[in-house]
Amino acid sequence: MHDAKAIPFTRRKRWSKATLTPWIFLSPALLIIMIFVILPTIAGVVISFLRYDAISPVEFIGLQNYKLVFQDQLFYKSMWITFLFAFGSLLPTVFISLVLAVLLNQKWFPFVNLFRAVYFLPTVVSMVAVSFVWLWLFNPQLGPINPLLSAFGISAQQFLGDSSQALAILILINIWKSIGFNLVIYLAGLQGIDNSLYEAARIDGASPLQSFRFITWPMLTPVTFFVVAMLIINGFQVFDQINIMTGGGPARSTYAIVFYIYQKGFSETNFGYASVLAVMLFIVILVLTLAYHRINARLER
Amino acid sequence: MVKNAEWIGRICLIIIVVIGAFTMLVPFIWMISTSLKADSEVFTFPPTWIPEILQWANYEKAFNVANFGRIFFNSFYVAIVTTILGLLLNSMAGYAFAKFNFWGRDVIFILLLATMMIPFQITMIPIYMLFREFELLNSYTGLIAPNIATAFGIFLMRQFMKGIPSELMAAARIDGSGEMRIFFQIVLPIMKAPLAALGIFTFMFSWNNYFLPLVIITDESYKTLPLLISSLSSGLYVQSWPLVMAAATIATLPIIILFFVAQRYFIEGMALTGIK
C-alpha cells in the first residue's frame, strides 16, 4: 500500500513502471485461471443452450435442454442422492472432528502429534486407491467385515451390493477420509483461543461443558463456517469413489450428480445436456453457500 | 492434584481416541496385508490378517503389469512440474495481491475467491473441447496446465505475504534492486515454510487427481497411477486382489512418506487455510 510512496525521489520516472509491476506478477496466474476456469465456465453455460451431441449438428435450442432436465426423474434422484451424501457426511464429520480436536488440545493428552498424524493419514492418500481397499474390505464373501458382524450375531450383509446400504457405506468412507483435515483445522482454531478466557470461566465456577458451550463453540464460529462450507462444496462433487466402487448402483442408489454429468458428457457424448446438469450443480452449490453465509452472518450478530 | 475419578475419565477418553485411531488405520493394514498374500490365500475363510508367507513377488508383478514404470514416472513428472510451476505462479500472484496497490485489486481478489465455488465439472467439457482442438488430449501439458494456478494457492500465499514488512522491499528499492530481484532474492527466501506447505498440497493434489486424467487421457503411455489402478479392476488385466492392493500400496506410499517427512509444513499449512 505505501510501497509506491517509499520511493519519492524517483517517483515521476518510476510511476508507470510501478503501476505495471503488480500486473507482471499477477498475469501468469490470472491467464491460467482465465483459460481454465473463467472462460470454460462461460463456455459451459453457453453449451447448455446448445444441442451438442454425437448425432445431430450443433444448434442453438434455447432453454430446451433445461426443460428436459426439469422433467428428468434421474436428475431429481441424483440431486437427492448427492444431497443425502453431502449432508449425511456433514454432521458426523463436524462432530467427531470437533470432539477429537478438543481432546487433543488438552494439556494432559499424551502423544498428540502421533494421534494427529494417524487421523490425518486418510486425507493425504488417493481416493482411487483407498476406494479399492474399502471395496475389498466390504467384499461380502472374502472381506473381513462379514465375519466380524457374525461374531455379534448379525447375518451376512451384501454391503455395496445392497441398494439400501451402498450410500450409507459411501458416507461412512467419506467421514473416514474427512475427519483428519477438519480435525487439524479445528485444532488450529482452538489454539487461537486465549487461555485466560477459560481461567476466568473456571474462577466463576463454570463446568467444562459450560465453558465449551459459552467460550469454545462461539469462538470457533468462523472455523466451523469454513469447515461446513468446504464439506458441502466437496460433498456435492463426489465422484471418484462412486465411479470405482458402485458405478452409481445398485439400482442407481448411489447415482450422484457428478457421476450423472460424467455419464452424459463422456459416455453418451451429450455435451449440451451434461452442461445443463453441471450448471444446475453450480447453482445449487452457489445457493447453498450463499444461504449458509447469510445464516451464519445473522447468527454471529 | 487431579482426583482419581478425573483420571478414570481421562483414561476412558484416551482409550476411545486410541480405538478411533486404530479404525483409521484398519484399511491401510488390510491393504498391506493383502498385498503380501498369495492369490489362493485370499479365498481362505475367515480372512487372515497376517499372510502365511510374505509374497514380496506381488510387488514385482505389479511393476510388470502394463508399463507400470512409465506410469509411475508420468505421475511423478506431472506432479513435480505442476508443483514447481504452481509455486512460482501462485506465489507471484499472491505477492501482487499482498504487497501492491493497483486498480481493481480487491474486486479481482474477491472474484478469484468466488471461483473456488465453481465445480470442476462445469469447466470440464469446454476444457476437453479446447484440448481436442489443440491436440492436447493425451499430453503432459494437458495434465499439468489446468492445475498450475489455483485460487486456493494464491489465497494461501497472499495470507503469508501480508506478514512481510513493506520496509524490507522499500529498502531494497532504494538500494536500486529490480522488482524481480526483490521477489526472488528477498521475498521468496522468507516464504520457505508456506512454500513448502503449498508445494506439498499441490503435489498431493496432482498425484491423486483422477477426474482430469480420466477425461483427457486414453493413451496408455500418458496414464497416471490412479488411472492404472482403476483399470486393474475392469477386466483389462488379470483381476487379482493381492496385485491390486500391491499397486494401491505403491501409489499411496510416496504420499505417505512425503507426509511423514514434511508433516509439520503439511499440518501447519492446512491449519492456516482455515483460520484466516
Residues A223 and A294 in one domain: yes
Quote the pTM value. 0.88
Instruction: Examine the pLDDT at A123 and tell me if it is beyond 70.
Output: yes
DSSP letter for each residue of B224-247: -HHHHHHHHTTTSS---HHHHHHH
Partners of residue A60 on adjacent β-strands: A50
The whole-angstrom separation of Cα A179 and Cα A170 is: 14
Chain B residues with CB under 8 Å of A36 CB are 123, 127, 145-146
The amino acid sitting at A295 is: I
Q: How many folded domains does chain A comprise?
A: 2
Residue B19, burial from CB neighbour count under 10 angstroms (0-12, 13-18, 19+): exposed
The full DSSP string for B10-27 is HHHHHHHHHHHHHHHHHH
Q: Who among B125, B233, B252 is closest to A275 (CB)?
A: B125
Burial class (CB in 10 A: 0-12, 13-18, 19+), B267: buried
Quote the minimal CA–CA distance from A14 to chain B in Å: 11
B1: its cell numbers: 492434584
Q: Do A143 and B47 make contact, defined as CB atoms within 8 angstroms? A: yes
Of A133, A185, A278, the CB nearest to B248: A133
A 135-174 residues with CB < 8 A to B: 136-137, 142-144, 147
Residue A63 maps to a domain = no
CATH superfamily assigned to domain B66-275: MetI-like (1.10.3720.10)
* CA pair distance B93, B156, nearest whole angstrom: 11
Show the domain range for A38: 4-47
User: What are the cell numbers at B271?
Assistant: 491449519
Please say whether the beta carbons of B50 and B33 come within 8 A.
Answer: yes
Look at residue A64 and tell me if it is in a domain: no
B 204-263 residues with CB < 8 A to A = 204, 207-208, 210-211, 214-215, 225-226, 229-230, 233, 241, 244-245, 248, 251-252, 255-256, 258-260, 263
Is B144:B82 a contact under the CB 8 Å cutoff? yes
The answer to whether A186 and A223 have CB atoms below 8 angstroms apart is yes
Count Cβ atoms below 10 Å from residue B205 Cβ, excluding itself: 17
In this prediction, residue B2 carries a pLDDT of 61
CB contacts, 8 Å: A19 with chain B: 102-103
pLDDT tens digits, A4-41 = 444 444 444 445 677 888 999 999 999 999 999 999 99
CA nearest neighbour of B39 among B249, B233, B246, B248: B246
Per-window interface: B 68-87 vs A, CB < 8 A: none
User: CB burial class (10 A; 0-12, 13-18, 19+) of residue B254?
Assistant: middle
What mean pLDDT is predicted for residues A188-207? Answer: 86
More confident residue, B264 or A292: A292
> Would you say A258 and A281 are in contact if contact means Cβ atoms under 8 Å apart?
yes
Rounded to the nearest 10 degrees, what angle do helices A112-124 and B241-261 cross at? 130
Q: Tell me the shortest Cα–Cα distance from B84 to chain A, in angstroms.
A: 13
Residues A8 and A132 in one domain: no
The residue among B32, B108, B125, B169 with the most chain A CBs within 10 A of its CB, best to mutate, is B125
Same domain assignment for residues A233 and A149 = yes
Angle at A49 between CA A46 and CA A52, to 5 degrees: 95
Angle at A97 between CA A95 and CA A103, to 5 degrees: 100
Contacts A86 to B, Cβ<8 Å: none
Question: Cβ contacts (< 8 Å) between B161 and chain A: which residues?
Answer: none
Kindly state whether residue A153 falls inside one of the protein's structural domains: yes
**For the residues of A39-85, what is the DSSP string, one character each?**
HHHHHHHHHTTEE--SSSPPEE-TTHHHHHHHT-HHHHHHHHHHHHH
Q: Which residues, at least 6 apart from A75, have a Cβ–Cβ distance to it below 8 Å? A: A69, A257, A260, A277, A280
Q: How far is CA B80 from the centre of its chain?
A: 11
Instruction: For residue range A249-282, list pLDDT tens digits in order.
Output: 888 999 999 999 999 999 888 999 999 999 999 9
For chains A and B, count residue pairs whose Cβ atoms are closer than 8 Å. Answer: 279
- Please answer yes or no on whether B123 and A44 come within 8 Å at the CB atom: yes
Tell me: do A39 and A115 sit in the same domain: no
Interface mutation target, options A10, A14, A21, chain B, most CBs of B under 10 Å: A21
Give whichever of B20-24, B37-41, B112-116 has the largest mean pLDDT: B20-24
**CB–CB of B45 and A110 under 8 A?**
no
Higher-confidence position of B73 and A209: B73
A122 touches chain B (CB under 8 A): yes
- The answer to whether the Cβ–Cβ distance between A244 and B10 falls below 8 Å is no
Q: Are residues A43 and A79 in the same domain?
A: no
Assess whether A33 and A117 both reside in one domain. no
* pLDDT score, position B237: 43
In degrees and rounded to multiples of 5, residue A57 shows phi and psi of -65, 155
Pick from A7, A20, A26 the residue to mutate for testing the B interface (most B CBs within 10 Å). A26
ipTM for the complex shown: 0.87
With a CB-CB cutoff of 8 Å, which residues 42-61 of chain B face chain A?
A: 42-43, 45-47, 49
H or E segment at B266? Answer: helix B263-275
Kindly tell me the number of DSSP H helices and DSSP E strands found in chain A. 15, 2
A212-252 pLDDT tens trace: 888 889 888 888 888 998 899 899 999 999 998 888 888 89
Is A60 inside a domain boundary?
no
Instruction: Determine contact, residues A49/A60, Cβ cutoff 8 Å.
Output: yes
Whether residues A82 and A42 fall in one domain: no
**Cα–Cα distances in angstroms (integers) from residue A217 to residues A27, A190, A282, A291, A292, in the given order:** 41, 10, 31, 21, 17
For residues A73 and A76, what is the distance between their CA atoms, to the nearest angstrom?
5
Same domain, A16 and A90: no
pLDDT tens digits along B170-223? 888 888 888 889 999 989 998 888 898 889 889 999 999 999 999 999 998 999
How far away is chain A from the Cα of B11, in angstroms, using its nearest Cα?
A: 10
Residue A294 belongs to domain with CATH number = 1.10.3720.10
Residue A107 covered by a domain:
yes
Q: What angle do CA A187, A178, A277 make, to 5 degrees?
A: 130
Position A1 scores a pLDDT of 43
pLDDT at residue A5, rounded to an integer: 47
> Do A83 and A38 share a structural domain?
no
Q: What is d(CA B9, CA B3) in angstroms, rounded to the nearest whole number?
A: 10
pLDDT at res. B265: 78
Same domain assignment for residues A141 and A17: no
For residue A192, the distance in angstroms to the closest alpha carbon of chain B comes to 9
In a domain, residue A104? The reply is yes
- The phi and psi torsions of A142 (rounded to 5 degrees) equal -110, -10
Q: Is residue A238 part of a domain?
A: yes
A165 assigned to some structural domain: yes
Pick the more confident residue, A82 or B56. Answer: A82
Is A244's CB within 8 Å of B230's CB? yes
Q: Which of A25, A240, A268 to mutate against chain B (most B CBs within 10 Å)?
A: A25
User: How many CB atoms neighbour CB B198 within 10 A?
Assistant: 27
Distance CA B118, CA B127 (A): 14
> Which of B43, B119, B170 has its CB closest to that of A3?
B170
Q: Are B274 and A191 in contact (CB under 8 A)?
A: no
- If you measure CA to CA, which chain A residue comes closest to B130? A40
Q: Across residues B21-31, what is the average pLDDT? A: 93
Per-residue confidence (pLDDT) for residue A7, from 0 to 100: 47
Is there a single domain that holds both residue A16 and residue A94?
no
Considering only CB atoms, which chain A residues are within 8 Å of B20?
Answer: 96, 100, 119
Q: What is the DSSP string of A156-222?
A: P--GGGSTTTHHHHHHHHHHHHHHHHHHHHHHHHHHTS-HHHHHHHHHTT--HHHHIIIIIHHHTHH
Cα separations (Å) of A271 from A77, A165, B125? 20, 32, 7
Residue A107 sits in the same domain as residue A240: yes
Averaged pLDDT, B137-141: 94
d(CA B227, CA B237) in angstroms, rounded, equals: 13
In order of A98, A165, A224, the CA distances from A220 in angstroms are 10, 34, 6
